[in-house]
Amino acid sequence: MTKKYLAAVLFTALLTGVVETSSALELSQYNKLDTVSRIVNDSEVTDSLRTLLGNHYQTFIDNFDVFGEPHTAAGGGLFVEGWLKDLYQENASALVINPDGKIFAAWVVPESDVIQYRSSDNSPVIHADIQQWAARFNTMQFAKKQPIRPRV
């Protein structure tokens, strides 16, 4: 009886592992300059961003007029940045998305003197790749964390 139970548990764990692997985001398809712009059309990514950013989504996504060279971020995620043409220092956004779906997003706009930041894991620590991106805005600091209200 114990062997049957153990076999059933192992089989279920194996199936769960397969499901998790198959549901992981395939980020390598966006890891080139000529394909990175397609990430803003990926429904899984945009749905996650809309949930995370709420009414800030459009401000964030509007900055992706020009895309920078993507790279693999710490932890195996994908770093993507964009900005409005000729406004590299004024209107810019960046995101790191991990294969497990965790998202870290930051943006700046001329109307504000702070860098906005949100993460799907609500960690108080700003993702290292986002911090590196933000260093170019040497007169700006990250905004104090404000509670995020989910869209209704």
**Intra-chain end-to-end CA distance of the chain, in Å:** 49
What is the structure's pLDDT at 67? 92
Percent of the chain predicted with pLDDT > 70: 78
67 vs 29: which has the higher pLDDT: 67
C-alpha torsion angle, residues 114, 120, 122, 126 (rounded to 10): -50
What gap in Å lies between CA 103 and CA 91, rounded to an integer? 20
Q: What is the fold, at CATH topology level, of the domain defined by 25-142? A: Inhibitor of vertebrate lysozyme, Ivy (3.40.1420)
**pLDDT tens figures, 69-122:** 999 998 889 999 999 998 877 789 999 999 888 999 999 988 888 999 999 998
Q: pLDDT for 44-65, tens place per residue?
A: 889 999 999 999 999 999 999 9
